[in-house]
Structure formats: C-alpha cells, structure tokens
Structure 1
Amino acid sequence: MDQDLDDFFTDASHLVDEAGKPIASSAPPLPPKSRREMRRRRVSVHRKRLTTALIVLVILALLGGGGWFVAQKVSGMSSIVSATKSVAEDYPGPGGSEVDFTVETGQSADKIAENLVKADIVKSAAAFTQAVAVAGVQNQLFPGVFELKLHMQASDVVTILTDSSKAGGFLEVRSGDKAADVITKAATLSSIKKSDFDAIIKDKGSGILPSEAGGNFEGWFEPGSYNVKGKSSAKEILKELVDQRIAKLDAMNVPTGSERERILNIASIAEAEVNQEEYYSKVTRVIENRLAKGMTLGMDTTVAYGANVSASDLTNAQLSDKSNPYNTRVHTGLPPTPISNPGDNAIKAAMSPASGNWLYFVTVNLDTGETKFTADSSEFDGYVKEYKQWEADNS
C-alpha cells in the first residue's frame, strides 16, 4: 500500500487537467479513477525509462564504433604515409662516378634492385622496383653490362636498363648464326685475343665438344645471351655455349650420338633455306625424300657456306665446284657438318618432318618468304620462273 502511494504521487507530477494542460505543482493532484489506472501509468513510466536507456546505449555504441572506425582510418593513413615515405627513398640524381653494372640473363627486377643497392647506384631496392612498376617494364630489363653512375635516380636507371643499345659485353647468339661469326663477336666483346679462340678451334674443341661433333663447333652453339665480358678465357666462353646447347638438346629429347649430329645438320639447312617457321618441317621432308632416293640435295645455302659467300652471290663456277665438300649440287648426302646454329623450331622439324612426297621447293617471294613445294619437276621449273620474275620486278 505504501509503495502504491509513492508511485501515485510520483506519477501525479505528470498529470494534466481535463483541458490537457499540466497541473501546477502547487495544486493538489486529482486522484486516479482506480488502482488499475495507477498500475497502467506505472508500467508506462517504466517502459519510457527502458526505451530511453536503450536509445542511450545505442548512441554510445555508435559513437564507440565510429571512433574505432576513425581510429582505424587514421592508423591506415599513417601506415600508407609511412610506406610511401619508405618507397620514396631515392637519390635525386643525376649521379657521380661512372661504374659498370651487369644484368645477368634471366635476373628478376628484385634481384637487379638488390645488386643496384649493393653497388650504391640506387638508394633503395623499393625505389627501383617502384620505378619499374610505374614504367610497366617488368619484362623488358635487358641483360648486359651497362655504364651507370653512383647515386642515380631510380627512374633514370630503369630508362638505361630497358635500352638494348646501352647493353654491352653480352654476346647474342641467334638462330642461324654461323660459328665463325659468333666466335669473332665473342672475341671482340670479351677483349680476349682472337688467337686464343683459333687455338681451340685448331685443337678441335678438345675438352669442350662432344665426340659426335667431330671436332667442329658448327651447330653446337645454343642461341641466347651470354655475358662474355665477365669470362676469363676463350675456353670458358666456348664451353658455356656448347654446354648450353647440349643441355637444350637433352631437354628436347634429341637422340644422342651420330643421330644428334645428323639432326643438327638437317635443321641447319632448313634454318638457312627458309625464313618462315611454317616451312621448316616441309623442307626437312624434302631433304629426307631426296636422301632416300639417292638424289643430290641441290641446296645453294650449303654451296655458299663452303665457298664462304652469300647464296645470292654464288657464281656458276662455284655452283659446279667439286672441290667444295659442301656443294650438295654435285655431292650426294648431307654436307660434312651443319652450316649454322639452328634454333629450336628447326630442330623439332628435323626430328619430325611433315608428311609429303615433295622433292623440290622454291621461295618465290623474298619479301614475304612465300615458298612453294612440289614433287613434279616441271612444276618446279614454273616456280623457278615465278621467282625470277619477282627478282626482275624487285631489282
């Protein structure tokens, strides 16, 4: 009963008169109509208090969450600023003393960056890798020996390392290159005396060439880039070229022994005769078909190799010269050795010639490389006339 009276007077402070106006605090409150009405009012007051408390809690939670979110953002921005400051550690350039810097074949941008920092060319690895990413040249950093400077700006270094004309000291062996030309370039780039290379050739590549090469380097240099400036001897350079070739042939499952030399020989002719990959397997089929029939190969490129001239400069006397062991117009069978260093595609074609009965082929357009194949000699004569007409029109 006492609790009911307390509640009654508490509730009464919120009462209004019949006109809806608050009752002045000095006026005595009107009694409730019933105990039921008093309980209803008491429940209503409790409900309002509970609702108010819940609203306050929600607001506090939102404020707390917002504060956490803002704190996280601020922390994140701080990290970004810190990271940016770290990446930006770079020399202003243009640099001081000149230094030689070597990029090895296959080196990643991260490894190059590490070496640049060690050489004190760039201030941080991050500065270089960022400059590479910004320039979008991750796969365009050339191998070679480059002339750089101490304390360079990273972006300037990237500009130089992506310019192949600035790369020195690296020997580029291309598919179809002749061994003699490769050796001459190797001597020039390495500053090792040419006579040192000649002595190894005279000694038939002892300790370098496999037995099936027959003491001849032709065909046994693997195409690629080689840092010859960093080598100490002619033997070291030639051994690397040959070792890389052997490793590649093994990886391609090229048969060993005399069959390996035979494949290199056929592949080298295909590489020299046509300049379109699509024709390699047809040329190797022509070679196999002519060998099977006991015919001469009749390849001008082999004659030119033996005469040490370009195929386009051959004379009638040279074409009929029996003293030239590479003259496949007069001698049957394959030439004594390959006539160049063939690439992977020509080697694959020699291992798996196309199916066909072709015995002849003529490149009728030297600009496009269009080559026609036939098993008919009269049709072959027609192709020869087509080529001569193209030659007359383009002389």
Structure 2
Amino acid sequence: MNGPSVEEEVNEGEGQSDDLGSGLGLRPETRVERRANRRRARGRRAFGCFAGLISLVVVGALVAGAALGFGKAKDAIEGVFSAPDYTGEGTGVVQVEITKGQATASIADTLEKKEVVKSARAFERVARDDPRSLQIQAATYTLRKHMSAKAALALMLNTNESVKVMRVSVPSGKTKAEVSVILQTKLKLPSGQAANAIAHPATLGLPAYANGNPEGFLYPATYDVPKNANATTMLKLMTAKYASIAAQLNLVKTAQNKKLDPYQAVIVASIIAGETNRKQDYAKVARVIYNRLERGMRLQMDSTIHYVVGKDGGVFTTPEQRQMVSPYNTYKNKGLPPTPINSPNVDTLRAAINPAAGPWLYFTLVNLDTGETAFASTPDEHQANVNKLQAWCQAHKNRC
C-alpha cells in the first residue's frame, strides 16, 4: 500500500497535536512556570483582600464624614427654621395696639417689637395651630413682656383681662357736636351721655378763658380710654391734652405779647382749621385774618357760616346762607365769631399765634383735589384766582 502504517498514523496524530499548539503560538506550561503562576495568583488574591479592606475603611470614613456633615447641616437648618420662644407668663406691663384688618404676621411682628414674644415666628406657629387666633380684634391690649407665644395668644383672646383700655381717635377740626357723636359711638355710651356731659362743662377742666364753653378745647388726638369709661372721663382727657399743648406752645403769653386774647387765638386757629387742610398755608391764612381785622374788613369766611348751617359736603356757601342773621356770619358782621368753630390742633394753634409776614387780604382754593390755595393782596389779584377756581370747577363737574 502507498499509505502509512497504523503505527505511523498514531505517531502522526501526536505530532499533529503539538503542531496545532505551535501553529497558534502556544505551548504547554513547564513545571517551573506552573509553580510561578500559582505564586503570582496567591499574591493577587492577597492584594485583593488588602484592597478590599482599604476600600471598606475609606467608605466607612466617607459615611462617618457624611453623617457628621449631615448633623451639622441639620443643626444649621434647625437654626434657620426654629422659632425662638420664651417660657412662662411673662413679667411687667406693655400696651400693644392692634389695628383693624391687621394680619396675623403683622400682629406677630408687633408683639416681637414690643418684646412680648421672643420671635414673630413662634407666635405665628401658635396662631396657625389655634383657629381662635382669627378672633383677635382691633384694640389696645395690656400684655406682659417675655411671654411664651402660647401664653400671649391666650391672654389676647381673654379680652376681659387684656383689653383694659379703648383707643379712641378724634380728628382735627370737629365741632363739639361732632365730638359728641364720635364718643357716643366709639365708647358705646348710654344714649345722650356725651351730649349731656358737654352741656355741663363745669367739671371738664376747661381753662378760665374758655368762658365755660368746651368748643375749641376738646383736643383732637388718639386716646387710650379706660375700659367702661364714661363721657366725662373722656372729655377730661381731651381738655387736659389741650392744656398740655397750650403750655407747650406757651400760648397765653405768646398771644398776650402780640396783643391777642388767648381765647381769640383759639378762635382764629379754629377758622384756619375750617378754611384749609394744608399745613404750609396755615400761617398765611392767619395773616389774612389779622390783616383784614386790622383794616376793619369783614372776614367773609365760609367756615363760620358752615358752623351754623352745616357743610352738607360742600366747601362753599350760597348767597342765601351769606345773608342769614347770625353772629357767626362773617359776611355780614365785622370781627371774629363769638366762639371757636371747631377743635384746632397744635399746628393751627401755632399758626394763630405766629402768623406769616405778608400783605395778603384774600385767599381762595384753586384746586379742590390738592387743596392748593392762592393768596392775593388786591381785589383784582383775588378775582384772577377766583377765575382759576371757576375754571377748575368747570372742568370737574359736580365737585364744587
């Protein structure tokens, strides 16, 4: 046969096996190489364990650091959002005014500023959790300093204890009749009590030069009146306030130095209050009054007629009203009216005893919206100003 023998085929197969590995660039490991590889494997396993241990240490450190950082962050967050608060019922006495429509946040700010509560946030939180906080009314509250927010809210809700005074405001330029209505309404007095007290002024503490008439001496201001006070108590507060302001202005002596009767000064101040509401014009109006009196001119002030007939929402008088018979009609009578026509404030009282220097004999409003007033020294100048007023009225129908 031309083919190999069986023995040759076997030997050829063994040779082919070696040749396959050789053809791929591989060869069997020697015994020495196997021992070296086992040593390297054991080294890698040892290093892996060591690296794992190191990783655990690093991760642990990171976790610990994160925990510490979170604790500090938590403290910082709590510091930002915490609500510092006092404990207990507080000490001392403090008056706190809460106005109509004041929101809870604003009330809380007021209490913090007055040192009633330690923080506005503490009061807001307590109020938010107590629906009764919506019942807080406008009033003057008698509270204590350094109260817990909960105690402050509880005391405010207990008005029998916390509302010991009532705050009453009387605007400037009101007549005694108007003051009577204000007191009657705000103090919720028995019917007619305020008017009756005004009609019996002997106990009201009026100055001697008032001639027993409270008109002009019921000083316009805001008063804290004891709870359940009667009309006489309130009126005494008003006349006492007038006395304080008059002393502050040194009204009696200053008027006398200018050859004025102090009562006449109060009358002039009341006319100023009735004629203009712009503070910068008060002293000039006073000068017009004195200049006209010195020249024997009638004052011709609408405010003195309004005192008798009422204002009815207008600022002017009618020809018929200017013809009425009354000592308060300064269109027909020379000199001042017999009494003040309202309650002047400190600024009009000051102007009455410290008139501006100037030759003016006339004045008129020229803009009812701004209260702008024009002054003149001659009839022609005054007529030009009246024309301005008429033009304004023409441009603003139903306003004059």
Decide: shared fold, TM above 0.5. yes
2:283 corresponds, among 281, 284, 302, to 281
TM-superposed deviation, 1:228: 3.6
**Equivalent AA in structure 2 for residue 318 of structure 1:** Q
> For residues 121 and 332 of structure 2, what CA distance do their matches in structure 1 show?
60
Alignment of 1:1-395 (within 5 A): 87-89=84-86, 103=96, 113=115, 125-127=117-119, 144-145=139-140, 169-228=166-225, 230-255=227-252, 259-310=261-312, 311-312=314-315, 314-322=317-325, 324-395=326-397
**Equivalent AA in structure 1 for residue 232 of structure 2:** K
TM-superposed deviation, 1:278: 1.0
Q: Secondary structure at the match of 1:181?
A: helix
- 8 Å contact kept, 2:97–2:141: no
> For residues 273 and 193 of structure 2, what CA distance do their matches in structure 1 show?
29
**Equivalent AA in structure 2 for residue 126 of structure 1:** K
- 8 Å contact kept, 2:83–2:121: no
- 8 Å contact kept, 1:190–1:229: no
User: Deviations for 1:72-118, whole angstroms, at most 9, x for unmatched residues?
Assistant: xxxxxx9xx99x98933489xxxxxxxxx97469xx9689555xxxx
> For residues 220 and 294 of structure 2, what CA distance do their matches in structure 1 show?
31
TM-superposed deviation, 1:303: 0.7
TM-superposed deviation, 1:188: 1.5
Alpha carbon RMSD of aligned pairs, Å?
4.0
**Equivalent AA in structure 2 for residue 368 of structure 1:** T
> For residues 115 and 261 of structure 2, what CA distance do their matches in structure 1 show?
45
- 8 Å contact kept, 2:86–2:149: no
User: Deviations for 1:296-335, whole angstroms, at most 9, x for unmatched residues?
Assistant: 100001111121234536332111102x221111111111
Go from structure 1 to structure 2 and tell me whether the alpha carbon gap of 1:154 and 1:326 turns closer, same or farther (over 3 Å shift). farther
- Count of residue correspondences: 277
> For residues 280 and 151 of structure 2, what CA distance do their matches in structure 1 show?
43
User: Deviations for 1:16-50, whole angstroms, at most 9, x for unmatched residues?
Assistant: xxxxxxxxxxxxxxxxxxxxxxxxxxxxxxxxxxx
Go from structure 1 to structure 2 and tell me whether the alpha carbon gap of 1:278 and 1:341 turns closer, same or farther (over 3 Å shift). same
**Equivalent AA in structure 1 for residue 139 of structure 2:** G
Structure 1 range deviating more: 298-307 or 186-195: 186-195
1:20 match = none
Go from structure 1 to structure 2 and tell me whether the alpha carbon gap of 1:186 and 1:129 turns closer, same or farther (over 3 Å shift). farther
Go from structure 1 to structure 2 and tell me whether the alpha carbon gap of 1:155 and 1:206 turns closer, same or farther (over 3 Å shift). closer
- 8 Å contact kept, 1:184–1:194: no
> For residues 380 and 348 of structure 2, what CA distance do their matches in structure 1 show?
28
> For residues 327 and 187 of structure 2, what CA distance do their matches in structure 1 show?
33
2:11 match = none
**Equivalent AA in structure 2 for residue 334 of structure 1:** L
Structure number with bigger Rg: 2
Go from structure 1 to structure 2 and tell me whether the alpha carbon gap of 1:111 and 1:85 turns closer, same or farther (over 3 Å shift). closer
- 8 Å contact kept, 1:110–1:129: no
> For residues 379 and 320 of structure 1, what CA distance do their matches in structure 2 show?
25
Structure 2 unmatched runs, 5+: 1-74, 89-93, 99-109, 125-136, 158-164
> For residues 300 and 349 of structure 1, what CA distance do their matches in structure 2 show?
19
Percent identity of equivalent pairs: 30
> For residues 195 and 151 of structure 2, what CA distance do their matches in structure 1 show?
43
1:163 match = none
Q: TM-score, normalised by structure 2?
A: 0.60
- 8 Å contact kept, 2:168–2:222: yes
2:23 match = none
Q: Secondary structure at the match of 2:285?
A: helix
User: Deviations for 1:207-231, whole angstroms, at most 9, x for unmatched residues?
Assistant: 4322211222221122221134614
> For residues 313 and 286 of structure 1, what CA distance do their matches in structure 2 show?
18
Q: TM-score, normalised by structure 1?
A: 0.60
- 8 Å contact kept, 1:113–1:128: no
**Equivalent AA in structure 2 for residue 280 of structure 1:** Y
Q: Secondary structure at the match of 2:222?
A: strand
> For residues 346 and 142 of structure 2, what CA distance do their matches in structure 1 show?
33
- 8 Å contact kept, 2:268–2:340: yes
Q: Secondary structure at the match of 1:255?
A: helix
Structure 1 unmatched runs, 5+: 1-77, 92-100, 115-124, 133-141, 161-167
- 8 Å contact kept, 1:131–1:154: no
Q: Secondary structure at the match of 1:371?
A: strand
